[in-house]
């Protein structure tokens, strides 16, 4: 039998407020028969009883992102979708879903604001009472803000989302949200919306900037009510709203929140109209930020300094909620930290200027308290104001974008299993609406380089299609007029009249991430939507390079946090900035220039833009030739034979084929010279193991993964890490810390090794975009006897389990409907091609297989 499931509209299940004129439908199929394929499908879209689009029977195996091509969709309208699929065995399955359009960004009301002074810290609360007819059949709230908001109707929170409307390049793109509030509506009603600074006007970045996007909080909302007789009524943001300060007396992303639950407002006034554009308002594309899970406290610690500290056992991003019944006016203060120092004391130096402190003044009754507009990166909290602490009353609320988990991995080595969990926790802690570098200190910015390095691993762990689609639009929005790409997006460092940063490997996020997302999801709109951005970036570098075809201008981060320069200058008496590594910056820049040009011409080919394809292919060839002339000797040696220098030349095809083998050998000698350890930084780390495996040195890649001495992936695990660290030695062997100015214990970039773990150890690789053609090729390494895991592709789950025992290796696989897999058994001579279904294979181990 065949089953149809996981129907989505633009990657969502039953989306509400969808402002897409031609949405795309996807579904997955399951079957108890092997070699199942879809023979045909039909889609019917209906508005009530009216058919607005019907495909008829389409002879096709396509199940992914089929675009609506019917009557123009109307705003605020529900559409029902019926899909029927028939397989190659004659079995038929059907499924249905629905979606509802939004208002396509068209608000009829305007902005309102408060009368507070711009520098007042208390959060404004906007309220309005109103009456409605009893016969309400539908009510939708459309809302956005300059700042972040928390909305209630009749005392009920309208949504479980946090930090809405999310973080975008606000003056260019501002999201609005749609909520179904039908069940909250009464005859007599009150709506209440509290605003906070958030990212819009609060403290941002390590330079103490405020008011980056604006200096005034404001609200824009409309409640659209439909009655049973079809008539409608709208309650919108206008002068009928009252405003006052509320119980949230202070709130900042970095510094935390102060709530006075005893506060009685005495500053009530009418809301003011506020002149602000609405033409940049867009619907919400990313999954909302939610409390995804709650973690119980593990232990209560009294530190040598006398602090009462609760340990949650896991470094995470979010906040703490606690149950209390304390005397009115009791002040409870909660401070946050990632680690304890070597003496066991609460350690906050690495937070820099971020206070990361929440304060609550209790109202004198039983209540559950939590922040509303901030988040912290922490494992430990210090609690003041409660004499007898019952840790069962405290929970850590894990906050991140609500991405669906799509991948997992485990094996016979528990340290590697812990590394996998740490990688996923690092992603969760830093995927809070945008891909941040860290969630704890006075930074938490969308560094483009970090996202570029990690995007492949990220897409294995979670479905990141919507997450990156939204963020990439902000990359394009913040791109300079000359094509340069900011180092952080949204660009909080932007200055009027100046072009944004343009570091190689950071700016290349504009090309590499769309390409990776296309490869992962088979979705050409990643390339279509970002094409002008990709093209502008490459053209910018091309102008900088001129006729030399080498990028030798600008300021770059180099191979950020590489250890090769640090080791080179050990015990020297002079000071040098070692953070950028010893790989020549111009070399790195020119290498990435070639890579982005290659991606661009291949993108142009896919989009059938023949003129651009020919133009940028020629540019790519010119860059490669110039690179070889400048940086490669006639004998194939590089002028920059650092680990990263060699990795880039091998990975990006910058060295002639006849020299590859010798260069790979020199790379291995370099690694062995460093005691089988890496000295790469952010730029080289994601390429290290893949390049070794691709060039016949998979065993060396395995030794790097299994290495436990600093620097290595497992060293932090042996030191108790529960996330990925910013620096390999954030905690040194003696328990002391690295420089607190740059020592985050939740930084995902080095977790990029996860991509290689999925592809090589587990053995799941895509041969075609979207995993319609899969390579199942596990490649064991010394120290691992079995591995098991899966990746939920757009077609369904790809599962692999392999084990070595008794001189044999066995492989079990499950492949999705509509997909074929080429299975290569380690050491086997033949490639086995299979269709969908479950398969098991075993072979005797050959010499050289661990």
| Cis peptide preceding 13, ω within 30 of 0 | no
Catalytic residue among 10, 443, 516, 544: 443
Q: Which two tokens stand for residue 453?
A: 């390095």
Q: Which two tokens stand for residue 423?
A: 């990688």
H/E run at residue 50: strand 50-54
Question: DSSP class of residue 719?
Answer: T
Gap between the Cα atoms of 253 and 259, Å rounded? 14
In DSSP notation, 332-371 reads EEEEEESEE-TTS-EE-GGGTT---EEEEE--SS-EEE--
Q: Residue 259's closest CA among 267, 268, 250? A: 250
**What crossing angle do the helices spanning 448-461 and 465-478 adopt, rounded to 10°?**
160
Question: DSSP class of residue 762?
Answer: I
Q: Provide the phi-psi class of 166: left if phi over 0, else alpha when psi is between -120 and 50, else beta.
A: left
- Residue with tokens 């977790």, as numbered in its chain: 751
**3 state SS for 280-299:** CEEECCCCCEEEEEEEECCE
Q: What is the largest CA-CA distance in the chain?
A: 85
Please answer whether residues 128 and 270 qualify as being in contact, where contact means their C-beta atoms are separated by less than 8 angstroms: no
Gap between the Cα atoms of 279 and 826, Å rounded? 57
Sign of CA dihedral 303, 306, 311, 317: negative
Gap between the Cα atoms of 166 and 31, Å rounded? 40
Question: DSSP class of residue 72?
Answer: P
> What 3-state class would DSSP assign to 459?
helix
Gap between the Cα atoms of 822 and 833, Å rounded? 4
> What 3-state class would DSSP assign to 429?
helix
- Residue with tokens 């015990």, as numbered in its chain: 571
Q: Residue 210's closest CA among 271, 257, 255? A: 255
- Residue with tokens 């979010």, as numbered in its chain: 318
Dihedral angle over CA of 513, 515, 518, 521, nearest 10? -50
Gap between the Cα atoms of 752 and 12, Å rounded? 27
Active site residue 228: no
The neighbour count for residue 47, using CB atoms within 10 Å, is 16
Phi and psi at residue 602, to the nearest 5°: -70, -35
> What 3-state class would DSSP assign to 832?
strand
Gap between the Cα atoms of 436 and 439, Å rounded? 7
Catalytic residue among 222, 287, 598, 726: 726
2-9, strands of its sheet edge to edge: 2-9, 24-31, 66-67
Active site residue 782: no
Beta bridge partners of 313: none
Within a 13 Å sphere around the CA of 154, how many CA atoms are in the beta-carbon half?
12
Sign of CA dihedral 556, 557, 563, 565: positive
Instruction: Report, as residue numbers or ranges, the catalytic residues.
Output: 443, 726
């Amino acid at each position: 039998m065949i089953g149809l499931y996981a129907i989505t509209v633009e990657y969502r299940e039953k989306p509400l407020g969808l402002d897409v004129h031609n949405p795309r439908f996807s579904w997955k199929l399951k079957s108890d028969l092997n070699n199942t394929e879809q023979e045909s499908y039909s889609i019917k879209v209906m508005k009530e009883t009216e058919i607005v689009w019907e495909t008829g029977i389409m002879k096709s195996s396509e199940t992914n992102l089929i675009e609506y091509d019917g009557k123009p969709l109307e705003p605020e309208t529900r559409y029902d979708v019926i899909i029927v699929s028939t397989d190659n065995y004659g079995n038929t399955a059907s499924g249905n879903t629905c979606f509802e359009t939004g208002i396509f960004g068209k608000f009829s009301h305007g902005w309102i604001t408060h009368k507070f002074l711009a520098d007042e810290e208390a959060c404004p609360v906007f309220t309005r009472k109103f009456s409605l007819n009893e016969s309400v059949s539908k009510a939708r709230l459309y809302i956005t803000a300059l700042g972040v908001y928390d909305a209630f109707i009749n005392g009920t929170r309208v949504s479980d989302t946090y930090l809405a409307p999310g973080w975008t390049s606000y003056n260019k793109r501002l999201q609005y949200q749609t909520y179904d509030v039908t069940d909250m509506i009464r005859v007599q009603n009150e709506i209440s919306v509290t605003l906070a600074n958030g990212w819009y006007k609060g403290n941002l970045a390590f330079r103490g900037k405020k008011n980056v996007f604006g200096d005034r909080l404001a609200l824009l909302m409309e409640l659209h009510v439909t009655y049973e007789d079809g008539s409608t009524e709208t309650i919108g943001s206008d002068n009928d709203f009252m405003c006052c300060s509320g119980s949230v007396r202070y709130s900042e992303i970095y510094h935390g929140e102060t709530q006075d639950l005893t506060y009685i407002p005495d500053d009530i006034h009418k809301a003011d109209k506020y002149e602000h554009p609405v033409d940049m308002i867009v619907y919400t594309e990313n999954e909302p930020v939610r409390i995804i899970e709650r973690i119980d406290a593990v232990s209560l610690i009294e530190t040598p300094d006398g602090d009462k500290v609760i340990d949650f056992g896991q470094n995470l991003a979010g906040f703490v909620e606690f149950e209390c019944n304390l005397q009115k006016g009791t002040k409870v203060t909660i401070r946050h930290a990632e680690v304890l120092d070597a003496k066991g004391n609460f350690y906050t130096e690495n937070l820099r200027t971020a206070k990361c402190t929440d304060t609550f003044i209790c109202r004198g009754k039983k209540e559950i308290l939590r922040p509303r507009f901030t988040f912290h990166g922490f494992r430990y909290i210090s609690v003041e104001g409660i004499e007898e602490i019952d840790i069962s009353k405290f929970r850590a609320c894990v906050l991140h974008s609500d991405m669906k988990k799509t991948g997992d991995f485990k094996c016979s080595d528990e340290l590697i299993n812990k590394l996998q969990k740490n990688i996923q926790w690092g992603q969760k802690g830093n995927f809070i609406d945008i891909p941040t570098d860290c969630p704890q200190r006075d930074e938490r910015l969308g560094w483009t380089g970090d996202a570029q390095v990690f995007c492949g691993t990220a897409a294995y762990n979670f479905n990141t299609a919507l997450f990156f689609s939204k963020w990439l639009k902000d990359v394009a929005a913040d791109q300079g007029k000359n094509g340069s790409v900011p180092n952080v997006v949204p660009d909080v460092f932007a200055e009027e009249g100046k072009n944004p940063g343009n570091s190689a490997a950071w700016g290349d996020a504009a090309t590499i991430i769309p390409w990776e997302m296309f490869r992962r999801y088979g979705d050409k709109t990643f390339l279509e939507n970002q094409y002008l951005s990709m093209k502008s970036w490459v053209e910018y570098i091309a102008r900088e390079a001129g006729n030399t075809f080498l990028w030798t201008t600008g300021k770059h981060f180099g191979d950020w946090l590489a250890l090769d320069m640090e080791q080179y200058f050990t015990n020297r008496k002079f000071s040098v900035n070692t953070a950028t590594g010893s790989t020549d910056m111009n070399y790195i820049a020119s290498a990435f220039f070639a890579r982005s040009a290659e991606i661009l011409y291949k993108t142009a080919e896919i989009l059938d833009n023949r003129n651009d394809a020919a133009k940028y292919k020629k540019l790519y060839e010119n860059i490669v030739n110039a690179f070889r002339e400048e940086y490669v000797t006639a004998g194939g040696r590089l002028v920059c034979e650092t680990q990263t220098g060699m990795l880039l030349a091998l990975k990006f095809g910058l060295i002639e084929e006849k020299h590859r083998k010798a260069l790979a050998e020199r790379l291995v000698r370099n690694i062995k010279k460093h005691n089988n350890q890496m000295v790469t930084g952010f730029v080289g780390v994601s390429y290290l193991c893949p390049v070794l495996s691709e060039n016949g040195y998979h065993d060396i890649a395995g030794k790097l993964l299994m290495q436990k001495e600093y620097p290595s992936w497992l060293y932090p695990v042996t030191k108790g890490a529960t996330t990925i660290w910013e620096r390999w030695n954030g905690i040194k062997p003696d328990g002391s810390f690295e420089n607190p100015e740059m020592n985050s214990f939740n930084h995902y970039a080095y977790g990029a090794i996860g991509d290689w773990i999925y592809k090589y150890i587990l053995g799941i690789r895509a041969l075609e975009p979207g995993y319609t053609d899969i390579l199942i090729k596990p490649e064991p390494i010394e120290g691992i006897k079995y591995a098991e895991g899966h990746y939920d592709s757009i077609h369904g789950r790809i599962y692999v389990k392999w084990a070595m025992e008794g001189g044999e290796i066995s492989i079990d696989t499950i492949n999705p409907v509509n997909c074929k897999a080429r299975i290569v058994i380690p050491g086997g001579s033949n490639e086995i091609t299979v269709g969908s279904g479950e398969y098991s294979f075993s072979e005797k181990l050959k010499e050289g297989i661990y």
